[in-house]
Structure 1
Amino acid sequence: MALQGSVVVTGGSGFIGRAVVRAFRERGAPVTVVDRIPYPAGDDGVTCVVGELGDAKVREAAVTAETVGIVHLAALTSVLKSVEVPLQTYSDNVAVTQELLELARRHEIGRFVFASTNAVIGDVKTETITVDLPSRPLTPYGATKAACEMLMSGYSGAYGLTTCALRFTNVYGPGMSHKDSFVPRLMRAALAGTGVRIYGDGSQRRDLVHVDDVVRAVLLAFGSGYSGRAIVGAGRSVSVLELVETVRGVTGAELPAEHVEAPAGEMPAVVVDLSASAATIGYWPTVSLADGLATAWKYFLEVEGFAW
């Protein structure tokens, strides 16, 4: 990937961010990481700007005339926290995104890739999610992501920026030991020899996409010249029961399940249509659930296995 300048990756020290930075570096592209925590040392091709993206000095230190593209991954991502602190969610998600888009306009940076979510759609029950469904978010988190997508569309239309919003499903894989989503909980239970709690009867379906596929989608979107939205998922939804059974097969753990009452608002299914993503940015997933969970299990054994 021959680029005459650096790629800015916001949130580059995070789970997805580190994988995206590695992918750009493997292709020879210099990267500027901007995050609240430092990027691990050891790569002279990575420059790190540490600080809050809400600080203009931090943004302007990261995004310069030498920047050729921005991959914006940083955000307040907790749905529950967004309900508790809606104003902070707006500031961290919408205001920061607008300021980054403005820097891109000022410096004539042509490429802007954004981490969005299918939460912009809201609850569609068991209906298949496509990029053309109307936005009806049910939380401040989903609403702020929808607002960012609209800002990107406006900057693309008015100033010619190439802006692509990637709507990720549930991302998993190596590097997520600090997360508290269902896959890490399953991995920790397998390490500890304990059981897991399942909401309801476990028939609810989810789309789980491996971080390697997410990274590939980011690279495809960055190089595609496509402005718009694309769903990034596995394209195959599995029930929670099927997920638990697959983890049992990968880890060899018994993982006894306790069924508990589902919280209000638990979605019955997340089913996505990836055909538009294939047509626009050339994305199609390559990592199967079993293979992906095996990479996550190997990672958890190496990182957390010593503790058990």
Structure 2
Amino acid sequence: MASLIPGDVCNVVITGGSGFIGRAVVAAFRERGAQVTVVDREPCAVQDEGVVVIRGDLADPEIRERAVLPGTDGIIHLAAVTSVLRSVEMPARTYTENVAITHELLELARMHRVPRFILASTNAVVGDVGTSTITDDLALRPLTPYGATKAACEMLMSGYAGAFGMTTCALRFTNVYGPGMSHKDSFVPRLMRAALTDGGVKVYGDGLQRRDLVFLDDVVRGITLAWDSGHVGRAIVGAGRSVSVLELIETVRQVTGCPIPVAHVPAPGGEMPAVVVDISRSAETIGYTPAYDLKAGLAATWEYFLDHDRQKVR
């Protein structure tokens, strides 16, 4: 299958295109000359004649059918319930938004002969492996509705690839951070807001739990590489280096020059001791290796917060 190169014009549908990752993916495909259709419940501020915005709920058949048309070259499906906590609180809705909608999009892709389908997945599909390294060939053993729905989506995509020849690729992202995430409540933006306000942060337990944090630009590049590669299956997109929460805090202190005091609080039940991933196979399957180390990524994120959020937190 031919890849998209700069100057080519193709038609890409990006669900969740108004979100943190979605906005960056839209910009990347527009830079490559693609015509982009964004589907999102949230408004999209992009003013670009090469971007068509369809605002609405993907649960609505009319919204889906307006977005996925004959001549569509691929779907990048980022929209989903992504909160583990919310998935536990509302498993039925998580199933509908994650599995049922993915199936309906796959059906439209089959009907209109859309050749590519890329899904934002998660390493939560393999459950808690303790401090062991996560590889893309581990058995699926999700422990939450969120992980289970993403595992189900991966199986649906495998079935559509096998039966209909569709090029389907599930990208298992680790913890994504970067510019544009000031509205998020994950730990990196909390640290950035603490630095802006001379505040502190709460740390669960001893802070030695380890996480793989991947910079937004690397995630976007992983998506474009998956698009170009024609790889069918799954690939882990991460930094390939896990750091402790305390190491993350110390790196943010270095980048921002702020002390960021820490208060240790009891860890909630189910706190994973580590997320350690092996990304070596992703270099073979989609050509992915990360370009940003943690300090460089956090520095770029800090510049964004200085430019966009300094006044908001004062």
Backbone CA RMSD of aligned residues: 0.8
**Partner Cα separation in structure 1 for residue 296 and residue 308 of structure 2:** 19
**Partner Cα separation in structure 2 for residue 125 and residue 4 of structure 1:** 45
- 1:302 CA displacement: 1.3
**Partner Cα separation in structure 1 for residue 17 and residue 297 of structure 2:** 22
Amino acid at match of 2:86: K
Amino acid at match of 1:132: D
- 1:41 CA displacement: 3.3
- Say which of 180, 186, 190 aligns to 1:175: 180
CA deviations over 1:14-45 (Å, ceiling 9, x no partner): 00000000000011111000000222132110
- Say which of 82, 88, 91 aligns to 1:77: 82
Runs of 4+ in 1 over 3 A off after TM superposition: 2-5
Contact 2:126 2:140 in 1 (8 A): yes
**Partner Cα separation in structure 1 for residue 160 and residue 174 of structure 2:** 25
The gaps in structure 2 that reach 5 residues or longer are: none
**Between the two proteins, what is the percent identity of the paired residues?**
69
- Say which of 280, 299, 304 aligns to 2:285: 280
Are residues 1:150 and 2:155 paired?
yes
Which residue in the other structure is 1:126 paired with?
131
After TM superposition, the structure 1 = structure 2 runs for residues 11-26 of structure 1, keeping only pairs within 5 Å, are: 11-26=16-31
CA deviations over 1:29-84 (Å, ceiling 9, x no partner): 11000000222132110000010000000000000002110000000111100001
**Partner Cα separation in structure 2 for residue 263 and residue 109 of structure 1:** 44
Are residues 1:222 and 2:227 paired?
yes
- Say which of 178, 183, 193 aligns to 1:188: 193
**Partner Cα separation in structure 2 for residue 291 and residue 5 of structure 1:** 33
Which residue in the other structure is 2:92 paired with?
87
Contact 1:232 1:277 in 2 (8 A): yes
- Say which of 82, 105, 111 aligns to 1:100: 105
- 1:5 CA displacement: 3.5
Amino acid at match of 1:47: V
The gaps in structure 1 that reach 5 residues or longer are: none
- 1:306 CA displacement: 1.1
Contact 2:123 2:174 in 1 (8 A): yes
Are residues 1:250 and 2:255 paired?
yes
TM-score where L is the length of structure 2? 0.97
How many residue pairs match? The answer is 308
CA deviations over 1:124-143 (Å, ceiling 9, x no partner): 00000000111111100000
SS at match of 1:67: coil
**Partner Cα separation in structure 1 for residue 44 and residue 69 of structure 2:** 19
SS at match of 1:209: strand
**Partner Cα separation in structure 2 for residue 91 and residue 197 of structure 1:** 34
Are residues 1:59 and 2:31 paired?
no
Query: Which stretch of structure 1 is more off in the superposition, 63-72 or 4-13?
Result: 4-13
